Amino acid sequence: MPTFSYQPRWALMPMLVLAAGLTACSKPAPEPDPERAVRTVVVAGESAGHTLEFAADLRARTESRLSFRVGGKLVERRVGLGDVVKPGQVLARLDARDLLLAQDAARAGMQAARVNRDQAGADYKRFIDLHKQGFISAAELERRDAAFKAAQAQLDQAKAQADAQLNQASYTTLVADAAGVVTGVDAEPGMVVGAGTPVVRIAHEGPKDIVFSVPEHLIAKLRAAASEPGALTVRMWGEGQENLPAKLREVSAAADPVTRTFLVKAEAGRLDARLGQTASVSLVLPKQAQAIKLPLSSVLEQQGKSSVWLLDSKSMTVKLQPVTIGGADGNEVLIAAGLAPGQEVVTAGVHVLTPGQKVRRYAATMPQSASAASR
């Protein structure tokens, strides 16, 4: 008769714990990265240049911000946006009552000074006769002469003050100093404006400029290329517009503190457009020998650095290759350094690849419906 040995349940606990530990330690093997299909292109050097384009607008070469030379309440503004003005045309007026009262006071002071001067002059003439007759001394005559000169000086001072006050009163009328077009209005009737506060902006008639902004790293290229005939052209936005040659006229000496770009002005002689109209400025850079162009989709940006994926045709794996971008030409980028002719570069799917990953070249397949229709 067989015998069975009884083992308590607690005696099996160590074996169960050990089995559980072995099960936890045995992790499943990681799945290999999927083999991805990629589009590629073989790098080829070519003699190519590229064109830089900048958004621009048309501005008058001279634009004035007109303001009153005295402060006061604006009671009238006779022009609005887009109005054409002529030299001497009245644009706005201030309330001049206080200045007119001050002008009257200055005139009265001048009249009093003139009467005082005339009285001192008449006295001086009489004292000259008395001195000739020996009734007064030479010292007394000199005192009378000094009093007459002081009265004359007071009259000159009062006259100058009256003229200045007359000018102050005339400054309450704002007039156009040149022919042009109103491009801005900064004050409305009823406002109290200070001396020098802009009220109306006038774009003067005459030459116009195409104004655009250029990043600081392109300033040297702009100066070098713009000296070549036909390198700089401008085209106004709209249908039927043609590219017209432009001439570089001015480059700002300092960068804009906000955008860090330099303001550039170009002259387009035959350009017929309205002020404020937008335009596109094109700068054709000289061609470079053995230039390499790639689609924009092939460049990967990571931590401010540019790179591309190179395909090793033997192992069919990819590796990351840093490159230097030399510029852009439409939907293509110009590679300045980092690649050599003959290398195969991935042009699509660059954001899902990892170094050493297995890939295969993408081959487009025709849908069954399309293939059936072609039979």
Is 198 exposed, middle or buried, given 0-12, 13-18 or 19+ CB atoms closer than 10 A? middle
pLDDT recorded at residue 41:
85
pLDDT recorded at residue 48:
53
Are 131 and 141 in contact by the 8 Å Cβ rule? The answer is: yes
Length of the chain: 375
pLDDT recorded at residue 19:
52
Per-residue pLDDT of the chain (375 residues; tens, 9 = 90+): 444 444 555 454 555 555 555 455 555 656 666 678 888 888 876 645 567 888 999 888 889 999 999 999 999 999 999 899 999 999 999 998 988 888 889 999 999 999 999 998 888 888 888 888 888 888 888 888 899 899 999 999 999 988 888 888 889 999 999 999 999 999 999 999 999 999 999 999 888 889 999 998 888 888 888 878 878 888 888 655 678 888 888 999 899 999 999 999 998 776 777 888 888 888 887 665 556 778 888 888 887 788 888 888 888 888 888 888 876 666 777 787 888 888 888 888 788 888 888 888 877 543 443 333 334
pLDDT recorded at residue 130:
86
pLDDT recorded at residue 366:
39
Are 173 and 90 in contact by the 8 Å Cβ rule? The answer is: yes
Are 310 and 267 in contact by the 8 Å Cβ rule? The answer is: no
Angle at 119 between CA 116 and CA 125, to 5 degrees: 140
Q: Could you give the domains of the chain?
A: 36-48+288-361 (2.40.420.20), 51-60+208-284 (2.40.30.170), 66-94+172-203 (2.40.50.100), 97-170 (1.10.287)
Q: Which amino acid is at 54?
A: F
Q: Any idea which residue has 């799945």 for tokens?
A: 31
Q: Which of 366, 367, 359, 374 is nearest to 37 (CA)?
A: 359
pLDDT recorded at residue 46:
60
pLDDT recorded at residue 334:
77
pLDDT recorded at residue 93:
94
pTM: 0.56
Instruction: Quote the CA–CA distance of 367 and 333 in Å, as a whole number.
Output: 33
pLDDT recorded at residue 261:
92
DSSP line for 338-353: S--TT-EEEEE-GGG-
Q: Which amino acid is at 238?
A: G
What's the CA dihedral at 50, 56, 61, 62 to 10 degrees?
-150
Using left for φ > 0, alpha for ψ between -120 and 50, and beta otherwise, residue 290 falls in: left
pLDDT digits (tens, 9 = 90+) for 302-324: 877 888 888 888 888 888 888 88
Are 309 and 344 in contact by the 8 Å Cβ rule? The answer is: no
Q: In what order do the strands lie in the sheet with 278-284?
A: 244-245, 232-236, 278-284, 51-60, 208-215, 261-267, 247-251
pLDDT digits (tens, 9 = 90+) for 346-356: 888 788 888 88
pLDDT recorded at residue 6:
47
Instruction: Quote the CA–CA distance of 149 and 126 in Å, as a whole number.
Output: 16
pLDDT recorded at residue 8:
52
